Amino acid sequence: MIFKQLFEPESCTYTYLIGCEETGECALIDPVLETAERDLTLIQQLGLKLHYTIETHIHADHLTGARKLRQLAGSQIAVAAMDNLPCADIGIEDGKVIHVGHLSLLPLYTPGHTDTHHAYLFTSNAHQLLFTGDALLIEACGRTDFQSGDASQLYQSIHNRFFSLPDETLVYPGHDYEGRCVSTILQEKQRNPRLGNNKSLAEFVAIMNGLKLSYPRKIDFAVPGNRLCGECPPNVPEELRTRCDVQDHQQG
């Protein structure tokens, strides 16, 4: 397996590259528009072919690079089937394995941050990698106050789908704002201030309802743009609009 954790600093988003050494196929989980060409260059340097872009959910804090990468590299866009996006090529369903060459990603339906959120579990003989999207972060979790978020649902998703996994499972989140890269299920069970130490559902809901977070800066163009798989809507800022334009990109 070829694995890279990539970072987009403005939205503090992690994109994950997973590649099959035997077939040369790879996938990007949660690509970002601003770093799409950077990521494609890396893929080509590694001698890989981008087969899929895979979304954990409809993002509110950045535009996905999925559409641009499809235009540049011929990759297929995979999103939750329940989002029913006409621009997508593949509908992801809970428990229906996604094959990247000889590698397998297991989608886990984990609503709460959004109502169609999916995480992805990769299992090998040596370890398990859990790509949690925005559901579970390092010593935090995704907010639940917009996009059909629901704190009770998120609590159940994390406890039933994540905390039931082996303690040594590696947690790779969709974001981190403090320079951290990875956690484990055991660490989140013990140290997560919103969920750890067996916090009850009532405690968690009270914490989430009391966060008083600011309105997401990009949500008004990110959500409609991401429902179009990364197309820039009319209200996108001019400095970002140039990123929507597809330039010729030498294929490896």
pLDDT tier at 249 (50, 70, 90 boundaries)?
low
Residue pLDDT, tens place only, 52-82: 999 999 999 999 999 999 999 999 999 999 9
pTM for this one?
0.95
**Cβ neighbours around 181 below 10 Å, total:** 11
**C-alpha closest to that of 135 among 79, 195, 83:** 195
pLDDT tier at 181 (50, 70, 90 boundaries)?
very high
Please answer whether residues 222 and 61 qualify as being in contact, where contact means their C-beta atoms are separated by less than 8 angstroms.
yes
Mean pLDDT of 137-158: 97
Q: Quick check: 251 pLDDT over 50?
A: no
Mean pLDDT computed over every residue of the chain: 95
Residue pLDDT, tens place only, 34-43: 999 999 999 9
pLDDT at 137: 98
Residue pLDDT, tens place only, 223-238: 999 999 999 999 998 8
Q: Quick check: 111 pLDDT over 60?
A: yes
Give the domain ranges of the chain: 2-240
DSSP-derived secondary structure for 169-180: -EEEESB-SSS-
Residue 201 tokens read as 């559902």
**Rounded Cα gap, residues 25 and 109, in angstroms:** 25
pLDDT tier at 99 (50, 70, 90 boundaries)?
very high
Residue type, 212: K
pLDDT at 252: 42
CA dihedral 168, 173, 179, 184 (to 10 degrees): -10
Mean pLDDT of 124-141: 95
Q: Quick check: 250 pLDDT over 80?
A: no
CATH of 2-240, one of 3.20.20.80, 3.40.50.2300, 3.40.190.10, 3.60.15.10: 3.60.15.10
pLDDT at 192: 98
Mean pLDDT of 89-106: 98
pLDDT at 20: 97
- Segment among 117-121, 172-176, 216-220 with least mean pLDDT: 216-220
Express as a percent the part of the chain with pLDDT over 70.
97
